[in-house]
Amino acid sequence: MANRLKPLPHAAWQAQQARIVLAAARRFDWRRMSPAEQVEHLFSVHGPLPVVDAHFGENSVLSEFYRHCAHDKTWQQRDQCAALLRGLAAKRSTLLWRAELAPALAAVAAFWRHRCRELADWQPRSRNPFRQLESLVRHLFDKYGDVPAWILNSWTSGRLHDGGVNIADLTVCLGRGAALRTFRGLPVKLTRKVEHHLRQAPAGYTFLQALRYAQLAARELPAEWLGPVLDSRLGRRLEPDDEFWLRVVEFFAASPMVDPYQLGPVCDWIHRKRSVGIGDEPPQPGFSLKGRSMPSLLAQTAQWHRQLAKQEHRKPDAEPALSATWEPMAVQNFAGGSKCKVRITQLLSYWELIDEGRALRHCVASYLDACRRGRSGIFSLTFDGSRALTLEVQANRTVVQARGLLNRRLNEEELSWVQRWAADNRLVIPKHLFG
């Protein structure tokens, strides 16, 4: 008798409630409702996420909207989201119900009080939901029509927190007519000249790509240097001493007859020298290019790669670092080819990174920390078991590097297989990688 009266644990109670709601959901189809009724039904539901998921159905679009527009929201925030979705339902907008756009609509509602026009005055001119979202954001927040296209593109591509910048906040700031360089959420200070070029960056760029585009243009460097810069560590992160790395680019651009794509390996060598040290020497945080020549930089970088390639063979358990492993990135491996078997496999241990770097004579082993922290995933492309290419995928599911033997660029055959693998996993391949 005492056991029957004992209260259920909270987790067990949630599971019980989910089963009850799921049984009722089997007799209920929200898709038969009108769009307005669907919105009202969405905001009439309350409870923990397992119960809500069971109510709307597994992998339901409404469940995704509930997560972003209703769950853990204050009553005021819920009302703002509900008002926005009611307005879109009244206009029969195709923005309802697209699960991938739920975070963007939640961000629109969060900045609702900053709108410069009313939703009632907005008329969608396209059935494409992504174009509708761009149109809606420009209508509500862009008072003067001069918010850069790459910022609006960040809304549709799901990059609302791009490079440490809150894109929604930036949109509202620029929409009021403020100068871009006065926005407090920028990770770097901008000059007037850099701001001018940043506003003109191509539409498909991320914040970091647009910033590099503007920085090179402000320094009057040739446009062909943008690809090598984005292909290097400068295209993957903003460094605290960003100005130093831009001077490295200028040093390269001023050197005649140098392959621009040697910038990436040299930057890796400089970073290693400044932060960790090469061989037995201590790190040199004050490393400078003063008094150095381009041939000496290339020679020392090549020597470092040879040292990595000739690294002494040791058992994986001989040293704690060598036995390091990490959780895989959520990207599937790939298998294809008929006459020649093609495999793209994720590397999940430091020992595998060392083997990869030794075979292709590059510095992929230096990405140990990035892999362990989940910032990057390293993949190896092989043809009939022979290593051909090393790929880096960042946490935002973008393929940022593809390097073969001695850091060579990928060829057309390799690119076609990488594109197939990227399409299967919905990965982004920047244009500069095609170079």
Is residue 241 within 8 Å of residue 287, measured between CB atoms?
no
- Identify whether residues 128 and 255 lie together within a single domain: no
> With b meaning 16 or more CB within 10 Å and e meaning fewer, what string describes 180-190?
beebeebeeeb
Beta-carbon contacts of 221 under 8 Å, excluding residues fewer than 6 positions away, are 249, 250, 253
Single out the residue of 402, 407, 416, 433 nearest to residue 340, CA to CA: 416
Q: Which H or E run includes 344?
A: strand 342-347
Residue 238 placed within a domain:
yes
pLDDT the model gives residue 301: 87
Residue 207 placed within a domain:
no
Residue 210 placed within a domain:
no
Q: How many domains does the chain have?
A: 3
pLDDT the model gives residue 169: 96
Residue 304 placed within a domain:
yes
Beta-carbon contacts of 156 under 8 Å, excluding residues fewer than 6 positions away, are 101, 104, 130, 133, 134
pLDDT the model gives residue 27: 45
How confident is residue 424, by pLDDT bands cut at 50, 70 and 90? very high
Residue 192 placed within a domain:
no
- Identify whether residues 92 and 143 lie together within a single domain: yes
- Identify whether residues 146 and 237 lie together within a single domain: no
Distance between CA atoms of residues 365 and 349, nearest Å: 10
Residue 166 placed within a domain:
yes
- Identify whether residues 352 and 304 lie together within a single domain: no
pLDDT tens profile 254-312? 887 777 888 988 999 999 999 988 888 899 999 998 888 888 888 898 888 777 766 54
- Identify whether residues 337 and 420 lie together within a single domain: yes
- Identify whether residues 155 and 250 lie together within a single domain: no
Please give the span between the terminal C-alpha atoms of the chain, in angstroms, as a whole number.
Answer: 75
- Answer whether residue 382 shows pLDDT above 50: yes
- Identify whether residues 74 and 155 lie together within a single domain: yes
Identify the domain boundary among 250, 276, 309: 309
Residue 111 placed within a domain:
yes
Residue 196 placed within a domain:
no
- Identify whether residues 340 and 295 lie together within a single domain: no
- Answer whether residue 50 shows pLDDT above 90: no
pLDDT the model gives residue 58: 66
- Identify whether residues 386 and 409 lie together within a single domain: yes
Both tokens of 188, joined, read 């770097």
Both tokens of 1, joined, read 């008798």
- Identify whether residues 23 and 172 lie together within a single domain: yes
- Answer whether residue 358 shows pLDDT above 50: yes
- Answer whether residue 13 shows pLDDT above 70: no
- Please give the residue range of the domain that contains residue 61: 2-182
- Identify whether residues 28 and 129 lie together within a single domain: yes
User: Of 32-41, 61-70, 183-192, 358-367, which range is least confident?
Assistant: 358-367
